[in-house]
Structure 1
Amino acid sequence: MKKLLILLAACSISAAASAQTTPVKAAPGQHHQMHKKDHKQDLTPEQRADRAAQKLTKSLNLSAAQTQQVRQLHLTRIQQQQARKVANGPVANADRKARHQAMKGQKAQYDTQLKQILSADQYTKYAQMQADRKAKYQAKRQTKG
Structure 2
Amino acid sequence: MRRRAFALAGLLPAVILAACAADPRELVGQPPRVVFFEVDSVDLDEPAQAVLADAARLARRHPQVPVQVRGYAGPAGGAAFNRELSQRRAQQVADELIKRGVAASRIQVVGRGPVPFDSVPIESRRVEVIIGYP
Q: TM-score if structure 1 supplies the norm length?
A: 0.27
Q: Give 1 or 2: higher strand fraction.
A: 2
**Greater Rg, structure 1 or structure 2?**
1
Q: TM-score if structure 2 supplies the norm length?
A: 0.28
Q: Give 1 or 2: higher helix fraction.
A: 1
Of the two structures, which has the highest relative contact order with CA contacts closer than 8 Å and spacing of 6 or more? 2
